[in-house]
Chains A and B, each alone.
Chain A
Amino acid sequence: MIEKDVTEKNLETQKVHGIDYMGKKIGMWFFLFTELLFFGGMFLLYSVYRYRFPADFHIAAMDENLLIGSVNTAVLLTSSLSMALSVSAVRRGNKKLSALLQVITILFGVVFLVNKYFEWTAKIFNGIYPNSPVLLQYSKGQILFFSLYYVMTGIHGLHVLIGTVVISVMVVFTLREVITQTNFSKLENTGLYWHFVDIVWIYLFPLFYLIT
């Protein structure tokens, strides 16, 4: 059975190289907990201000492009698929497939960011950006909505960008066999990070695009 052979090889790697697979994994999960609380502060602001200005949020959200938002959601979900598949591939010893899947993940990430760029430039072209004269004419709830939009999707987008850079490094590691069938923590942990970024977007999407 594939699993048994791999398990024995893994245990040997651990003994020989002193690698603590479990330790690296929970270390990554702990880091994700901090990220959850980091984004959590932004979700807290959103929930308070949405509670206070429900009508304004509703109106402001009409400015959002549902098509781009939905496409972006589908893009990230699919990138999560390719990322997860790439980890399975490397665990089955399929180095080239894994690298290919990682490249696909990066491409999806880039598509997401390009879409974001179009969304942002469209808004900025219309004079809507933090502290703009146009925005300051709007009602308070609308000002808050757009501020939250820029801050939350901006910080999320930054995380996507960082993720694509890290995955690019992982592609190199996979091809150079720094990441192997028995030593794949780096890739798995990168995957955990990427899925977390996907989950954040899963919540951002309805909060900004689906409240009209």
Chain B
Amino acid sequence: MEEKRTGMETHIIGYRTYVYVWCALLILLGITIAAAKIYFWKYSVPINLFIASVKALLVLTFFMHLKYEGRFLKGLVFITVLVLTTIIALTFSDVWFR
């Protein structure tokens, strides 16, 4: 059971890993600004949101340690995002079809 682990066994992430992640984030920031300037027409929203999600995932996985947490916590994060997404989707079942 996950309660038996104190959780303090999670290893300490090295300084270098954090810096690499930060570089990746800045690069992605550059990409997303450049992508916005290109005229993608109706794809610009999904593309920018996709890049934002990659950045968010990097922050979640490394800065927030989620990579080193148990399946339980990872599952909960996923479920919470799913709940929010479904609420928005169900609202759109009204807005889109009115």
Contact = CB atoms under 8 A, between A and B. Distances in A.
Main DSSP-derived SS at the A contact region: helix
A85 B62 CA distance: 11
B9 A7 contact: yes
A199 B59 contact: yes
B55 A202 contact: yes
B80 A36 contact: yes
Nearest to B49: A206
A29 B77 contact: yes
Contacts of B84: 36-37, 40
Contacts of B7: 21-22, 25
Interface in A1-59: 2-3, 6-7, 10-11, 14, 21-22, 25-26, 29, 33, 36-37, 40, 43-44, 47-48, 50-52
A91 B60 CA distance: 19
Contact of A205 (B12, B52, B80): B52
Contacts of A73: 29
Interface string A195-210: 1101100110110011
Chain B CB within 10 Å, residue with most, of A11, A40, A196, A199:
A199
Interface of B: 2-3, 5-9, 11-15, 18-19, 21-22, 25-26, 29, 32-33, 35-36, 44-45, 48-49, 51-52, 55-56, 59-60, 62-64, 73, 76-77, 80-81, 83-84, 87-88, 91-92, 95-96
6 contacts: A2-B12, A40-B84, A40-B87, A84-B18, A203-B56, A210-B48
